[in-house]
Amino acid sequence: MAEIDKNAYKGVWVYIEQVDGQARGVGHELLAQGRMLADKLGQELAGVIIGHNVEALAKEVFASGADKVYLVDAPELAHYSTDGYAAVFTDLIQTYKPTAILLGATNDGRDLGPRVSCRVSTGLTADCTGLDIDEKTGLIAWTRPALGGNIMATILCPEHRPQMGTVRPKVFKRPEQDFSRTGEIVRVASKVKAEDIRTKLVDVIRIATASVNLEEAEVIVAGGRGMCTPENFCLIDQLADVLGAAVGASRAAVDAGWKSALNQVGQTGKTVGPKIYFACGISGAIQHLAGMSSSDIIIAINKDPDAPIFKMADYGIVGDVMEVLPILTEEFKKIKAG
């Protein structure tokens, strides 16, 4: 393969994933990190918005720190499709040549990132938990768990451009937005035609989205193996209902069939960062901690006083979760009623 001119690639891009015209939170989280990287490199930060009737999102992207927005708006792009979005993103990269691209490690981001990186002949570091600039080389230093989470690997991409990586939602905090900020909108015409998209969206089925939207939740009540039976998870559901919280589960509870994989929190599930995280009957395996350690407040309930979860918890209740949860639920009901 012919050697590329790496000096021709400038700027840090963040893919702003949107659904029904609403930007997902991970895009704003990555703009905060992108701003840090761009400032260290002395380059501009840009958001990439793809969809239909989504220009209004540019104000939010500027408010979160971007200098520029690349906007591709077309009816064929109203809903995410692998064919359409990969073609559009590839065209943007080949035309404007960014040095680095950050994407959320969501279902769509994990589909889009590797397809685009392959088309532009570069690498992709998946599920990063840390981003920085390597002092010796000036390259993006992508840090991610390796070997089952037992070590952290830092990966560089020295020979190819752009440098690309995906980051799980809630690994980083959203920036404080400044809506007085403005920037340049670069409107790019889509070259994608309807016949280029080989899939057709037939219907969207929403399944209990309020209870499983973990990545956006401010309060999560999660249960683990200590709940003992699937029927006991009703105690988790009742507390979550009173608090307006999402319901989470450990891998052990999901593997046992007590909760859907949509509810799983942890290294092989979803990474969350709510204001309050209730860990009920969860021992605190390292894989689970990796998925919820960025929670602002962690409240653990476990009958084993030596459970690892207590080392991370801000508040701990040593007791039988079957007895403690109904008491908590009733007390929160009284507080709300009062």
Binding residues: 225, 250-251, 264-268, 281-288, 302
Three-state SS across 191-234? CCCHHHCCCCCCCCCCCCHHHHCHHHCCEEEEECHHHCCHHHHH
Q: Name the one residue in this structure whose structure tokens are 């979760």.
A: 321
Cα distances from 17 to residues 13, 52, 222, 312, in angstroms, run 12, 12, 27, 32
Place of tokens 């991409």: 157
Residue corresponding to tokens 């407040």: 297
Phi, psi of 165 (to 5 degrees): -160, 155
Annotated binding-site ranges for FAD = 225, 250-251, 264-268, 281-288, 302
Q: How far from 67 is each of 14, 38, 45, 316, 338, CA to CA, in Å?
A: 11, 10, 5, 44, 47
Cα distance between residue 252 and residue 254, in whole Å:
5
Q: Could you write out the DSSP letters of every residue in 72-118? A: EE-GGGSS--HHHHHHHHHHHHHHH--SEEEEE-SHHHHHHHHHHHH
């929190």: which residue's tokens? 265
Full DSSP string of 123-142: -EEEEESEEEE-TTT--EEE
Asked if residue 71 lies in contact with residue 63, where contact means CB atoms within 8 angstroms, the answer is no
Residue recorded with tokens 């990287």: 37
Distances (CA, A) of 106 to 113, 201, 213, 279: 10, 19, 12, 23
Pairwise CA distance, residues 37 & 266, whole Å = 27
Q: Quick check: helix, strand or coil at residue 268?
A: coil
